[in-house]
Amino acid sequence: MSLSLLKNKLWAPFIEHVIAAEASTRSAALLRIGLCALIWSRWAQWVAPFSAPDAERMWFSVYFFIVTPMMFFGIFTRIATALTALGLLVIYYYFGHHQGVEPWTHHHTYLLTISTCLLALSDCGRSYSFDRYRQIKRYLKRGLQIPAEIGPRWPLMLIAIQVSLIYFWSALDKSRVGYLSGDRLEQMLMFFYFGSDYPNIPFFQPIMQISAWLTVLLEYLLVVGLWFRRAQRWLIPIGIIFHGLIYYCFPVSTFSLSMWVLYLAFIDPNVLHRFLDDLQKSSADNPTAA
């Protein structure tokens, strides 16, 4: 077999199923709306004019509150999403790392930043957006068939890879004696709840050890399992509960909700599209009584 033929056999499936693959854009649109809401939840209060300590931050405030609503409502969506991603890079690298605004350098801020950057590569404005509304009106006015809500799928795959890498490195970092022994979980609970006195709870140390092992095993499982549709029906609910417990017990800011939203990147966009259609049809067939 010639080298060129071998390359074609290796690259053809990759190009067909990854690079050139298209699917419904509703997943990307829901990600856009969810991420934008989280961006406001994390930063809007701190970049608002009443929190701006200088002219530089004041000008950034104007920028932030122009591009993020455009991203949320889908007005010139790809441009708005790209400009929002650029703003988050400024927050994370310039204000955070360069100027030393320490809360803006945390991993949950990086997650929102990189996810928005990757989402900007998608056609996230072809569904649930003002752009889509204008497109429908324009095509109906001309008597043309409305374009399908279809776009490239590879940006969602990049987001999904990012989520898997988060789980992988998190599990790898915990795969050490200090965590698997349960000591790290004990320290966290004593810091946030019990103070310096060791809690008088039966089997406290074994519970911490079991919790530590289960956490690491679950994270390793999520690295791979979320990519398989049959496993998703179990792992996504378990992952949602897992991150909900983390949010309930510890101050993790937007991290847990971000992971909930980013699970959309793993779900087959066409399956989600049909589900939403069925949901809408069901609502239309059974309207709520006034």
- Identify whether 209 is part of a domain: yes
Task: Dig out the tokens for 283 from the structure.
Answer: 């609502």
Q: Please give the pLDDT value at position 288.
A: 57
Q: Please give the pLDDT value at position 290.
A: 42
Total number of domains constituting the chain = 1
Which domain covers residue 224, as residue numbers?
21-276
Question: Averaged over 83-99, what is the pLDDT?
Answer: 95
Looking at the predicted structure, is the pLDDT value of residue 65 above 90?
yes
Looking at the predicted structure, is the pLDDT value of residue 19 above 90?
no
- Identify whether 76 is part of a domain: yes
Question: Averaged over 164-172, what is the pLDDT?
Answer: 96
- Encode pLDDT of 111-148 as tens digits: 999 999 999 999 999 999 999 999 999 999 999 999 99
Sign of the four-CA dihedral 188, 192, 196, 198: negative
Looking at the predicted structure, is the pLDDT value of residue 277 above 70?
yes
| φ, ψ of residue 138 in degrees (nearest 5) | -65, -45
Q: Please give the pLDDT value at position 289.
A: 46
- Identify whether 101 is part of a domain: yes
Residue 18: pLDDT band with limits 50, 70, 90: low
Residue 195: pLDDT band with limits 50, 70, 90: confident
User: CA 47 to CA 49: how far, in whole Å?
Assistant: 6
Looking at the predicted structure, is the pLDDT value of residue 12 above 80?
no
What percent of the chain clears pLDDT 90, i.e. is strictly above it?
75
Mean pLDDT across the chain? 91
Q: Which carries the bigger pLDDT value, residue 279 or residue 160?
A: 160
22, β-bridge pairs: 152
Looking at the predicted structure, is the pLDDT value of residue 71 above 60?
yes
* Burial degree of 92 (CB within 10 A; 0-12, 13-18, 19+): buried
- Identify whether 42 is part of a domain: yes
Output Rg (C-alpha) for the chain, integer angstroms: 22
Closest CA to 112 of 56, 225, 170, 31: 31
- Identify whether 212 is part of a domain: yes
- Identify whether 14 is part of a domain: no
Q: Which of the 8 DSSP states describes residue 124? A: T
Predicted structure pTM score: 0.90
- Identify whether 240 is part of a domain: yes
What percent of the chain clears pLDDT 70, i.e. is strictly above it?
91
Q: Please give the pLDDT value at position 80.
A: 98
- Identify whether 286 is part of a domain: no
Contact status, residue 68 vs residue 40, Cβ threshold 8 Å: yes
Looking at the predicted structure, is the pLDDT value of residue 5 above 90?
no
Residue 95: pLDDT band with limits 50, 70, 90: very high
User: CA 179 to CA 169: how far, in whole Å?
Assistant: 14
